[in-house]
Amino acid sequence: MTSHGKRRAALIGALSAAAIVIAIMALSGIGDNLVYSWSPSELLAARQKAVGATVRLGGQVEVGSLERVQPGEPLRFRVTDGKESVAILANAVPPAMFREGIGVVIEGTLRKDGHFETQRLMVKHNNEYQAPEEGEMVNAKELERTLEGEV
Amino acid sequence: MRGKFQWEHAVLLLALVLLTVGTYIGLAVAPPERHMGDVQRIMYVHVPTAWIAMLSLTVAFVAAIGSLWSGKHKWDAAVVGSTETGVVLTGLLLSQGMIWARATWGVWWDWDVRLTTSLVMFILFAGVLALRASVDSAERRASWSAVAIIVAYADVPLVYFCVRWWRSLHQVQSTPETVDAAMMLPLRINAFGMLFLATWFIVRRARLELAQRQVEETTLPERRSVEEVQHA
């Protein structure tokens, strides 16, 4: 075969390989086996199996669930997916954007008593970027302060 | 080549003007984000960097197909320019993303699907450059790196679509409906600025590659050793 023919054969081979990789990733449901995070419903459904394993729990901080605690004590709140909710004990400095109603991803373990214990608390941002409403002040000092905290 | 005006320098000038104006508006005129504050302003470089990194690697993919199909040097030169530019932009993308992540998510890194596929993109295309550096024959270098780029490119659509297909920490793409109009303006200006800046880098690097190739081809057959020159 000429080098011309070899090159074009290589082109077809490479394009096929790339197409197969994309098709597998898109269609095979490989993502279902590589679950990034569990919802509270999924975690509670798998309860016995999940106890003690390190998993990520994703959901929203339940409105009204955030408890005031003394400095040094773990943060207590509940994470919900709208159907089920899980009680969280977080030994972590929360990111500045942490608040009730916001999305979070929490890496930790479910204890036998039903509490989910974590030292890695991540806040999820949605795809909305809006200016402050009139009269609303953005507290930049607060943002900067939390960046200095050890997580 | 000397003395002839090269069009890409006009593009570079335009890029610098746009990036200056866009960054000024982004830092000084646009409002802070209502929950994120000033940290959100990193968007005006992060998002254009992401778009143009993926675009550069798409150019590399097209050039790799052209190179394998035709065997012409100019396609291989385009492969070099766009791959190197794409790798640099992807490296910047990861660094900016980590800074933004620390400030908003609370962590520098997490193995979520968007971050992981982006890191894979960086490693794969940096690997293509390492491969190029290790092959002496120009013909083989062109063919092998083109094949490697086409296979590596499979990751690029994954970087884009993964946040829609799978759960992740990274949010899905914003749209003009989800971003304040006052933030869209500097974002768009900087995106065009980044596009023109990358164009300049790609074209300059491609011209350099063509010139090197020309030098190799015209001098190699009669290249003399240092001793020969000294004794002549």
Where do the structural domains in chain B lie, given as residue ranges? 8-212
Whether A39 shows a pLDDT value over 80: the answer reads yes
Q: Give A138's contacts in chain B (Cβ within 8 Å).
A: 32-34, 37-38
Contacts of A65 (CB under 8 A, 6+ apart): A77, A78, A80, A85, A100
Task: Give the pLDDT confidence score for residue A26 in this predicted structure.
Answer: 82
Domain segments of chain A as ranges: 1-34, 35-126+141-148
Whether B210 shows a pLDDT value over 50: the answer reads yes
pLDDT tens-digit map of B41-76: 999 999 999 999 999 999 999 999 999 999 999 999
Give the HSE-up count for residue B43: Cα atoms under 13 Å, Cβ half-sphere.
Answer: 28
pLDDT tens-digit map of B72-88: 999 999 999 999 999 99
Partner residue facing B68 (CB), from A10, A92, A122: A10
Task: Give the pLDDT confidence score for residue A83 in this predicted structure.
Answer: 94
CB of B23 within 8 Å of a chain A CB? The answer is: no
CATH level 3 topology of B8-212? Four Helix Bundle (Hemerythrin (Met), subunit A) (1.20.120)
- Best A3, A11, A43 member to test B by mutation, with max B CBs in 10 Å, is A11
Task: Give the pLDDT confidence score for residue A27 in this predicted structure.
Answer: 83
Where residue B222 falls among pLDDT bands split at 50, 70, 90? Answer: low
For residue A54, what are its two tokens? 């390190």
Task: Give the pLDDT confidence score for residue A149 in this predicted structure.
Answer: 45
Task: Give the pLDDT confidence score for residue B211 in this predicted structure.
Answer: 95
Look at A18 and B150 and tell me if their CB atoms are within 8 Å: yes
Partner residue facing A123 (CB), from B31, B104, B167: B104
Task: Give the pLDDT confidence score for residue A31 in this predicted structure.
Answer: 65
Look at B151 and A21 and tell me if their CB atoms are within 8 Å: yes
Strand A85-90 and strand A115-123: pairing?
parallel
pLDDT tens-digit map of B106-147: 999 999 999 999 999 999 999 999 999 999 899 999 999 999
Q: Give A151's contacts in chain B (Cβ within 8 Å).
A: 106-107
Enter the ipTM.
0.84
Whether B231 shows a pLDDT value over 80: the answer reads no
Average pLDDT, chain B: 93
Task: Give the pLDDT confidence score for residue B3 in this predicted structure.
Answer: 65
Looking at domain A35-126+141-148, its CATH superfamily turns out to be Nucleic acid-binding proteins (2.40.50.140)
- Residue B50's nearest CA partner among B100, B19, B92 is B92
**Residue B1 CB-density burial (10 A; 0-12 exposed, 13-18 middle, 19+ buried):** exposed
Backbone CA torsion sign across A10, A14, A17, A19: negative
